[in-house]
Structure 1
Amino acid sequence: MDAREAYSLKLMSQPTIYDKKAYFTLTWIDGSEYRSSIYSFDGKNSERMTFGGRESSPKFINDDLYYIRSDENTDHLMVLRRYSEPTEIFSYHKILKYVPYLDGIIAIVEDDPGKSTMFITDRLKYRFDTRGLIWKKRKLVYFDGTFHDLVSGNFDVTDIETEGKRIIFSSTQTDDDTGLEDVYVLQDGKIEKLTEGQGSISAVSIGDGKIAYAGHRKGLWPPAVSNLMFPEEGKEIPIGKGIGNILLDHFVEPPVKLKYSKRFYTIALDGGKSAIYSYTNAVKKETDIEGTIVDFDVSENEMAYIYTNFEKPSILSFRGGEFDPNNVKGITADKNEVDGLDYWSIITDKNNPTILFVHGGPHASYGNAYYIEFNYLASNGFNVIFGNPHGSGGYGEDFAASVIGDWGGKDYEELISFVRDAKDKYGLFDNFHVTGGSYGGYMTNHIVTKTDLFRSAVSERSISNFLSMCGTSDIGFWFNAIENAVKDPWISENQITLMKMSPIYHVKRVKTPILFIHGENDSRCPIEQAEQFYTALKINGVETKLVRSIGDSHEHARKGNPENMRKRLELKLEWFKSHSK
């Protein structure tokens, strides 16, 4: 498999059921561009509905198909009526979400920032990864032939839903700098806040008069598990091991969705897989597959869902049939357990070199899904090990929170135990390498300061200096402090604590050759993090290279420039091969 073949996938998302068909967005890479169109599936046959190659977000309103068509600088809300050509309803710089309301449409939108050579701010959150500099906030508008601003200010509207006259929305109005959110009701021009305390909200919904959201009220607490919340009733319903999904390396990201159709439906984690759950008076598990649910829709008594597993990147299940847009079969990983911890292995040959992958987060998790990179490296003669040490999501909040103040402690020991267990179990040759991104990049940097077990390392969008990241990352000023159990990063003794927990503090111990790959426009883990470690290694005579992915953000490995993503795979393969001899 070459890098172009690795990214030749077609991925489905945004299913919506209408008139015995499931409509969905199909996304693929065409040369150096992402393409997408709307398709339908009736349980047997699929049909392409739009042909521009930049369409997404299908929704039926009054029996007509609505969708968003995007060009370089503008989103257009389109309608495709039966036996007619698509027509435009309205356009905006960005349309994030839309739903029908009264005789028009309500939508979360973002204004065009215009052109300026100077950016001035007095906010802590003045940039955000993938958004870049925040020139304009996301607001709620109503369109009935004319635009009406409903909710706007120096904050973002993050989700909307409606039932009749009431509009339910979430926003960062209370604390935009840290992104804390609340749920509000807008009716007859009046806004009422429903949530108390502080917390995070990933989706809102309303059904049968009940308002619900997926989230928590635990303030700034990254390990917090999202539950099903009913703010008007003061109820909190745990769903699975937490609402959300496992980490994928696909270029289509699984959404957090909360949908009402006689019951409230959502996706939740359970170890290394996810399922659809529903709730009215009790929680019910609606799916039980060996894989990961990516997206879904429910309507009356029908359900459509998209899932992935080790062998298949994207499958749509609907009305007893399945649609697979790819002719791909991935390698099934073996599930293993060490001291009650899950890890997986893809063993191509016991004499082949073996790569340990470390996921991001740290509160993300790996599981039963098709991984582009794992299959690429396995097809090119490598074994792959990946797992969920303490700190990972999907095993409860206590498990996720266990690494707070202890990054590189028990999680390091457990990652090494995965390697040792696989070596003994499969009789692997002593030829190991390590890689990871974000927190996984931190762990890669940390690991090579602790051991010479690995012949080489590839560190992506990594962390090397917690202290400098507090002042340069879009969320570092609060995230780093919490994750390192430091209340105030600017007190001298706490600065010493942050430095001692940083790989750069221990760089003199490093002997392992390291390749750094980093998005030039990464706001989450700014590129200065890679620059520091790279420079220190060069000065100390350790073999190293720095790759700057021009134009890419923290998502450079998942949703970056397609040519850069292909080149990234080739560079990693070349690095591992050259250090495996």
Structure 2
Amino acid sequence: MKEKRTIRAEDLYQLKSVADPQLAANGKDCVYVVTTMLEKENKYCSNLYYINVDEKNNPVQWTFGENRNSSPRWSVDGKRLAFVSDRSGKGQIYVIDVAGGEARQLTTCPNGASNPVWSPDGTKIAFNMAIKNGESFSLTDEKDKKEDKKPVPLEVDKMKYKSDAHGFWDGKYNQVAIVDVQKGEVELLTSGEHDYQLQSWSPDGKYIAITADLSEDKDASFISDVFVIHTDTKELKKLTEGTGYFGNVTWSPNGKYIGIVGHEREFENATLSKIWIYDMDTEKIQCLTRDSDLLIGDYAIGDFQQGAVTPGILWGEDNHSFYFLATDHGNTVVYYGSLAGVMYPALLDRQHVYGLSTGGKVDRAVVAISKPSYPGDLFLLNVSTGELEQLTNVNGEFLAEIVLADSEPIRFKTSDEWDMHGWIMKPVHFEEGKKYPLVLEIHGGPHAMYANSYFHEFQCLAALGYAVLFINPRGSHGYGQAFVDAVRGDYGGKDYEDIMAAADYALANYDFIDKDRLGVTGGSYGGFMTNWIVGHTNRFKAAVTQRSISNWISFYGVSDIGYYFTDWQIKSGLHDIETLWKHSPLAYVDQMETPLLILHSEKDFRCPIEQAEQLFIALKHRKKETKLIRFPDANHELSRSGKPNLRICRLNFITGWFNDYLK
């Protein structure tokens, strides 16, 4: 029998990500998206696949080529499928007949189209498009497709003029439009100087639910309200009170109730999302999970899945039952809920459920599941029994030749009696009696959660003989409101102590860890904490800081979120430079002795590269051991969705640095 090999960074080119399952209303037909990375072309490729969940036959590929095909959505009668494809350039809406035939392009929007939503009668599709005021809905000829490449000045008169996801704002607003499926005619449903996000269509076809912030001063506003707009009169009705951030809007089958996920920002961006129900008859809204510490949605992080979609609440045929995803103690869980307030898990296991679709049924669901040593596949969930039947095996052949590490959960108490939860991943080919180096991983956010999910970076480290330790310190999601809020105003305080306590616990309970060969790494907030750690202790022999924060004072003015994030998280601003500096790792550069590799993307607008430059220069000026790696054409999302070759380079830089100092 051929011996299995260990995984490598380059194996990202071999692995497939399966996501966004969509079960049709008949409860049988399911379409999903499979994404791969193309090494030669250095890009991503996504295609649609079909499977009958009753017959469990071999999946059938429905789209082909090296483009991105995504967002498959069934018509209500299940006879047609709308999806988004960039085969003609920018993403546009296409429709394919399930009975056969070629996909037909419906839109030719100059800046692309996204988020297709069918009308109940199947004659129209609503969608989102970015457009300037007065700009044409469609490309009229080849001349329109060619952009003027001459540089032009950027005029800035607002603070929210850039974002890590979209770069500099170019005058376009996100609008909702409707296209006639037969005629291809496009009608703009919203307009003006606001961004509207399409949500869902009412069962009677009269209304479309959308979300938007209609505040005049967008720079000082951080809300998202729910509206319904009449498809004929375009009359807009506001359902929420301008008090919070709401989205994921879905209608009950009879149109009487609207399910909403959101919160009222009691703890700013550390507030738990909850389930809200709007009654169309009484015109009142109520929160069903107000007294619960359950976080609605999927807040687990990873570095592998592409195109995962978190749905809102998915209604059943009875108009009072529904299912949803929740984030809970290192897992994402499928929950059942009802208008009566009944809530309980329908699928509770050591797993990351990163996709859920019910087709409107109450007895079954298709779920996308990942585990620490399992990249991910689709399963059919029998709700009454909790049994899972595997539908796909997209990485079966590859995984048959690879040995992966699993993770062991750990729990411990801190000095102030807080419960902490995390994992230890042993090296691949672990041998009793041997000593191994350990790498401590710290997630970003800080309001995110490590989970029982596949993490390629962890597997690459374990394959090279490292133990990997990762925990959810206070500030992480999944452990209640008090836990996630505890980090605000205390960066580098108890969160630092939590992480050090995890290292102490690992050394005390796992005798295979070599205390003299400890490494630490993390990105974003995890990069901040890596910088903080090496400025406060010399127990780590090597460190890699990624897309990090080093100086909260300059971060205030250069990050796309800086001017409000420092207020929310550090609870300070430029009126209190002393506090910002006290929480800045750069203030402790004289104490930094750990060899530090600094990884940063050139186009990172969330944690701009000047954060890395300041730290690098300060360290080099003091003759400290450091190196700076700059990644071109990459933003804050490099590790998750960056150019394939750069993602591979990043992983090899990380493992190479630790190999140099810990082996």
Place the TM-score, normalised by the shorter chain, in its bin. over 0.9
Please list the CA deviations of residues 99-122 of structure 1 after superposition, one character each: whole Å capped at 9, or x if unmatched.
123631111112389545222221
Q: Is the 8 A contact 1:127 1:474 kept in 2?
A: yes
1:531 is paired with a residue of what secondary structure?
Answer: helix
Tell me what 1:117 maps to.
152
C-alpha distance in 1, partners of 2:574/2:499? 32
Q: Is the 8 A contact 1:197 1:219 kept in 2?
A: no
Shift of 1:73: 4.3
C-alpha distance in 2, partners of 1:356/1:12? 29
C-alpha distance in 2, partners of 1:501/1:255? 35
Tell me what 1:260 maps to.
315
Q: Does 1:291 align with 2:351?
A: yes
C-alpha distance in 1, partners of 2:124/2:169? 28
Q: Is the 8 A contact 2:240 2:285 kept in 1?
A: no
Q: Does 1:173 align with 2:217?
A: no
1:532 is paired with a residue of what secondary structure?
Answer: helix
Q: Does 1:68 align with 2:103?
A: no
Q: Is the 8 A contact 2:226 2:247 kept in 1?
A: no
Tell me what 2:296 maps to.
243
The 10-residue stretch of structure 1 (237-246 or 333-342) with the greater mean CA deviation from structure 2: 237-246
C-alpha distance in 2, partners of 1:515/1:442? 13
Tell me what 1:55 maps to.
69
Please list the CA deviations of residues 430-479 of structure 1 after superposition, one character each: whole Å capped at 9, or x if unmatched.
21000000000000000001000100110001000111111111111111
Q: Is the 8 A contact 2:524 2:548 kept in 1?
A: yes
Highest Rg: 1 or 2? 2
Q: Is the 8 A contact 2:597 2:626 kept in 1?
A: yes
Tell me what 1:439 maps to.
525
Q: Is the 8 A contact 1:25 1:38 kept in 2?
A: yes
Q: Does 1:310 align with 2:372?
A: yes
1:313 is paired with a residue of what secondary structure?
Answer: strand
Shift of 1:153: 2.9
The 10-residue stretch of structure 1 (306-315 or 202-211) with the greater mean CA deviation from structure 2: 202-211
Cα 1:72–1:382 shift into 2, 3 Å = farther
Tell me what 2:4 maps to.
none
Structure 1 stretches of 4+ moved >6 Å: none
Please list the CA deviations of residues 66-108 of structure 1 after superposition, one character each: whole Å capped at 9, or x if unmatched.
2111148411211222232221111322323111236311111
Q: Is the 8 A contact 1:7 1:372 kept in 2?
A: no
Q: Does 1:30 align with 2:30?
A: no
C-alpha distance in 2, partners of 1:179/1:250? 30
Tell me what 1:107 maps to.
127
Cα 1:195–1:366 shift into 2, 3 Å = same
The number of equivalent residue pairs is 577
Picking from 214, 221, 234, the partner of 1:189 is: 234
The 10-residue stretch of structure 1 (232-241 or 36-45) with the greater mean CA deviation from structure 2: 232-241
What's the Cα RMSD here?
1.9
2:629 is paired with a residue of what secondary structure?
Answer: strand
C-alpha distance in 1, partners of 2:187/2:582? 53
Tell me what 1:554 maps to.
636
AA in 2 matched with 1:27:
T
Q: Is the 8 A contact 1:37 1:55 kept in 2?
A: yes
Tell me what 1:495 maps to.
577
Picking from 117, 123, 141, the partner of 2:177 is: 141
C-alpha distance in 1, partners of 2:608/2:88? 26
Picking from 216, 222, 226, the partner of 2:263 is: 216
C-alpha distance in 2, partners of 1:8/1:242? 34
Tell me what 2:393 maps to.
324
Tell me what 1:130 maps to.
165
AA in 2 matched with 1:211:
I
C-alpha distance in 2, partners of 1:221/1:460? 25
AA in 2 matched with 1:3:
A
What pairs with 1:363-402 in structure 2 (closer than 5 Å)? 363-402=447-486
2:46 is paired with a residue of what secondary structure?
Answer: strand
C-alpha distance in 2, partners of 1:106/1:356? 46
C-alpha distance in 2, partners of 1:351/1:511? 24
Q: Is the 8 A contact 2:441 2:469 kept in 1?
A: yes
Cα 1:355–1:161 shift into 2, 3 Å = same
Q: Does 1:270 align with 2:328?
A: yes
Q: Is the 8 A contact 1:78 1:86 kept in 2?
A: yes
C-alpha distance in 1, partners of 2:266/2:498? 29
1:90 is paired with a residue of what secondary structure?
Answer: coil
Shift of 1:123: 1.6
1:108 is paired with a residue of what secondary structure?
Answer: strand
TM-score (norm 1): 0.95
C-alpha distance in 2, partners of 1:365/1:151? 36
Q: Does 1:520 align with 2:520?
A: no
C-alpha distance in 1, partners of 2:345/2:472? 23
Q: Is the 8 A contact 2:20 2:308 kept in 1?
A: no
Please list the CA deviations of residues 514-552 of structure 1 after superposition, one character each: whole Å capped at 9, or x if unmatched.
111111111111111111111100101111111111111
The 10-residue stretch of structure 1 (98-107 or 113-122) with the greater mean CA deviation from structure 2: 113-122
Please list the CA deviations of residues 464-505 of structure 1 after superposition, one character each: whole Å capped at 9, or x if unmatched.
01111111111111111110122xx131xx121101110011
Q: Is the 8 A contact 2:106 2:179 kept in 1?
A: no
The 10-residue stretch of structure 1 (2-11 or 477-486) with the greater mean CA deviation from structure 2: 2-11
AA in 1 matched with 2:491:
W
The 10-residue stretch of structure 1 (551-560 or 285-294) with the greater mean CA deviation from structure 2: 285-294
Unmatched 5+ residue regions in structure 1? none
Q: Is the 8 A contact 1:391 1:401 kept in 2?
A: yes
Picking from 192, 195, 200, the partner of 2:245 is: 200
1:353 is paired with a residue of what secondary structure?
Answer: strand
Q: Is the 8 A contact 1:202 1:256 kept in 2?
A: no
1:293 is paired with a residue of what secondary structure?
Answer: strand
Percent identity between the two aligned chains: 30
Q: Is the 8 A contact 1:158 1:172 kept in 2?
A: no
Picking from 177, 192, 195, the partner of 1:156 is: 195
Q: Does 1:346 align with 2:425?
A: yes
AA in 2 matched with 1:48:
Q
C-alpha distance in 2, partners of 1:574/1:47? 41
Shift of 1:247: 1.0
AA in 2 matched with 1:257:
P
1:450 is paired with a residue of what secondary structure?
Answer: coil
Q: Is the 8 A contact 2:475 2:483 kept in 1?
A: yes
Shift of 1:285: 1.9
Q: Is the 8 A contact 1:159 1:203 kept in 2?
A: no
